Structure 1
Amino acid sequence: MAIKSTVFKVKLNVADLDRNVYEDFALAVARHPSETDARMMLRVAMFALHAHEHLQFGRGISTDDEPDLWIKDLTDAIKLWIELGTPDPTRLRKASGRAQKVLLYAYGERAFKVWWNKNADALARFNNLSVYSVTDTELAALGALAAPGLALQCTISDGELWLTSGDQSVQVKPVALRRAGE
């Protein structure tokens, strides 16, 4: 019998000073059995960073055809595709062909450095792909926030996220390694 996903209910309040987005979101986040709390919370943080009425969680970790997060328009065209981790470059090539904009938020500093050195040149040809990295320290701090019935406040300024739950606060500042079109 397969192990089922664990669903976390998250009340997310976003105050994005960069984009003038001020909104509350009631999220049901399914954590795949092979996914860590830290990775799941990174998905929530990236949801906050790119908050939009049409932003949705994809099946990402459990399927090749969907990202971790995406925005699709009313015609089902993919406007934004967000990946986490160090995916196979073939997956990013497919995403770049299907979506207007592709964002990768990499984590796992040791593994990512090896992955980036091996794949940076191949990824350079995807004009709609931006790559960012998140430190292991930031990732671990995000994981410590995970809890059932989480109420999370996220303030964003200058691309930096401040996530607060109760008396815990976490700062995440994704570092741009490659921006689309560069």
Structure 2
Amino acid sequence: MAIISGKIIRCAELSHVVAFFPVPLFLLSQSHPSYYTSFHTAPEKTKQAHPMAKNATIYKVELSVTDMDRHYYETHNLTVAKHPSETDERLMVRVLSFALNAHEQLEFTRGLSTEDEPDLWQKSLSGEIDLWIALGMPGEKIVRQSCGKAKKVMIYCYGGSTAEMWWEKIKNSTSRFANLEVTNFSRDDTRALAELANRSMRLSVTIQDGDVMVAIDDSTLHVTPVKWKSVA
């Protein structure tokens, strides 16, 4: 509380008092320095980066997205940490997955460094997980848990016949998950993407009618995602 002109003012009312009473701010700051700091010098919010794996290789990516299907046109400057066990193929699938779902709230997680997070996620301002993106061939238990944590779950799988065998095994047990979407990239596409990987990339992704064109420097690659399961 503070006493101004003989009247007791509660802390919650001080911001209004400063606005309507001609009390010099230095008097408030001297007698109640915490009030001045609280109302006038609040620290700026900063986005904390996720801890990176030890010995991770850092990739800098300038990603320009032209998504005519979603009417999304933005450029993102990304810092991508490549886990020591991660291949160039998987790294490029991660970057492509970001491009296909690009949003200001979408971000890379700790990925291979933890079992509790997907490869990318998008959270609401209240902390709820709006989108959970996983790569590869997760087991039925992990898929079930993921669908219970997020409003929408997307799995991007790759690996040729290995991915096809995985899907044949898991598809019946996952049909009940209305918020699950599964998309496959062909082995030829992901291997071609891997050949374009470098630690400093200017990458352009254009999406139209589900077809994807990836351009890096003078190289252009057409990728055709195949949707194996759609959300209900």
Runs of 4+ in 1 over 4 A off after TM superposition: none
Of stretches 112-121 and 40-49 in structure 1, the one that deviates more from structure 2 is: 112-121
CA distance in structure 2 between the partners assigned to 1:27 and 1:3 by the alignment: 19
The residue number in structure 2 matching 1:19 is 70
Is 1:149 the counterpart of 2:200 in the alignment?
A: yes
Deviation, 1:127, is: 1.1
The residue number in structure 2 matching 1:104 is 155
Is 1:163 the counterpart of 2:214 in the alignment?
A: yes
Q: Report if aligned partners of 1:133, 1:174 keep a CA contact under 8 Å in 2.
A: yes
The count of residues paired between Structure 1 and Structure 2 equals: 180
Q: Counterparts in 2 of 1:55-134, with a 5 A limit?
A: 55-134=106-185
Residue identity matched to 2:162: A
The residue number in structure 1 matching 2:98 is 47
Of stretches 170-179 and 76-85 in structure 1, the one that deviates more from structure 2 is: 170-179
Which consecutive unaligned segments of at least 5 residues does structure 1 have?
Answer: none
Residue identity matched to 2:103: H
The residue number in structure 1 matching 2:20 is none
Please give the root-mean-square deviation of Cα atoms over the aligned residues, in Å.
Answer: 1.2
Deviation, 1:61, is: 2.0
CA distance in structure 2 between the partners assigned to 1:12 and 1:161 by the alignment: 14
TM-score (norm 1): 0.95
- SS of residue paired to 1:71: strand
TM-score (norm 2): 0.75
Give the structure, 1 or 2, with the largest relative contact order (CA under 8 Å, sep 6 or more).
1
> Aligned to 1:5, which of 56, 75, 80?
56
Identical aligned pairs, as a percentage? 44
Which consecutive unaligned segments of at least 5 residues does structure 2 have?
Answer: 1-52
